[in-house]
Amino acid sequence: MEEPFLILENITKRFGRVQALRSVSLDVGANELVVVLGPTGAGKTTLLRTIAGLEAPQDGTVRIAGEDVTRRSPAGRDVALVFQDFSLYPNWTARRNLEFPLRAPGRNLTQAQIDERVAWAADLLKIAPLLDRKSQQLSGGEMQRLAIGRAIVRRPRVFLMDEPLTNLDAKLREALRVELARLRRELETPMIYVTHDQTEALSMADRIIVLSEGRILQIGTPQEVYRRPASPVVARQLGQPAINLLNVTRSGSVWVSESGTPVAPAGDETETEMILGVRAEDIAPSGGKHAGTIRVVEEMGPTKTLLVDWAGCDIHIVAPVTLSVSPGDAIFPRVDPARIVLWRA
């Protein structure tokens, strides 16, 4: 494995009595995109701000390219931070917004070099035709491109992105997501990307870090975190609809739900009570032995999502679009036994 470029060791951050980060350790490869996922208040933004130097941790170290930068000012770290609310100068043209970080004291770039960098960033983000407009005249998507442009123009050593697409329309978000994925391949710079959008997390990340209450719950590839979540809390962070969680007890060779419905065959686990997780696409709407009642049918385009009262719970099933069902219908769900996850209760 290549030498990690950015290393966090045992970072602890308290605000008064609030523990925002609890001994967070993490390393990011030189060309890696790491997504930090977690509910509101998990500590995601604090983590980014600590890397950027906007917060000083009480404990732990931040290393970039082998150097300890923990006590260094934000400017001395050479990292770029992109926020969800753009933070552009509204009365300046797009060009002036892009030039600004290049004119910072100590940069000593010639006008020709500045022009060259601006043209490069504008081209990469497809905003070249907009350079002479004031940023307040741009659309939301254009403004966010410009904000990203302002971050990349000075070619920092690390990109930190704090929900950069959250304030955009769903459709625009989709388009920019694809562009960001392309951009990061071309930039070859490590990126830490905070989001609570699971589509962004799954599709963009090399690795996902699931953070909750200031602690890292799991680090893994999107497939690992999606298929083998470390805990029910992690499991619920990914998947649309959310994973089904059932409290089950062993009854002979099967796991049964609290209502006594057999859910899946039991293996050689020694526990008698467990939490069983099964994703909505891993329950077939037919083929099982025990009836459930459909409560809600949602048309999702390529699939439909059923909310079914089954085994004493509300479960979600992703069904083929060709399945013809209505609320009130009885169906016989079948859990794919190869696809379940079990945790100690």
Write out the residues near another protein by the rule CB under 8 A.
39-41, 140, 169-172, 174, 178, 181-182, 196-199, 202-204, 222-223, 226, 236-242, 279-281, 295-296, 298-302, 305, 307, 318, 321, 327
What's the burial of 290, exposed, middle or buried (CB within 10 Å: 0-12/13-18/19+)?
Answer: middle
Residue number with CB closer to another protein (115 or 197): 197
CB of 225 to another protein, least distance (A): 10
Range 21-59 burial, b when 16+ CB lie within 10 A, else e: bbebebbbbeebbbbbbbeeebbbbbbbbbbbbebebee
Residues 6+ apart with CB under 8 A from 139: none
Smallest distance, another protein to C-beta of residue 141, A? 10
The one-letter amino acid at 100? F
Indicate the burial class of 172 (C-beta count within 10 angstroms; 0-12, 13-18, 19 or more): middle
CA distance to 31, 61, 66, 96, per residue, from 27 (Å): 12, 12, 12, 35
Structure tokens at 235: 């499991």
Q: Which is nearer to another protein, 39 or 312 (CB)?
A: 39
Amino acid letter, 336: D
Q: How many CA atoms lie within 13 A of 268 on its CB side?
A: 0
- To the nearest whole angstrom, how small is the minimum distance from the Cβ of residue 182 to another protein? 7
Going by DSSP bridges, is the β-strand pair 341-344/273-278 parallel, antiparallel, or unpaired?
Answer: antiparallel
The least distance separating another protein from the CB of residue 327, rounded to whole angstroms, comes to 7
Contacts within 8 Å (CB) and 24+ apart, 55-59: 55/13, 57/11, 57/12, 57/13, 57/21, 58/12, 58/13, 58/14, 59/10, 59/11, 59/12, 59/23
* Least distance from another protein to the Cβ atom of residue 298, Å: 4
Q: Please say which residue, 6 or 208, places its beta carbon nearer to another protein.
A: 208
By C-beta, is 155 or 196 nearer to another protein? 196
Q: How far is the CB of 69 from another protein (least distance, A)?
A: 32
Provide the residue type at 263 as one letter: V
In the complex, least distance from residue 53 CB atom to another protein, rounded to whole angstroms: 27
CB of 204 to another protein, least distance (A): 8
Q: Which is nearer to another protein, 22 or 236 (CB)?
A: 236
Min. distance of Cβ 66 from another protein in angstroms? 30
Q: Provide the token pair at 26.
A: 């993490």
Q: Cα separation of 260 and 249, whole Å?
A: 9
Specify the residue, 118 or 208, whose C-beta has the smaller distance to another protein. Answer: 208
Which residue lies nearer to another protein by CB, 191 or 238? 238
Whichever of 276 and 283 has its CB closer to another protein, that residue is 283
Comparison of 99 and 163: residue with beta carbon closer to another protein? 163
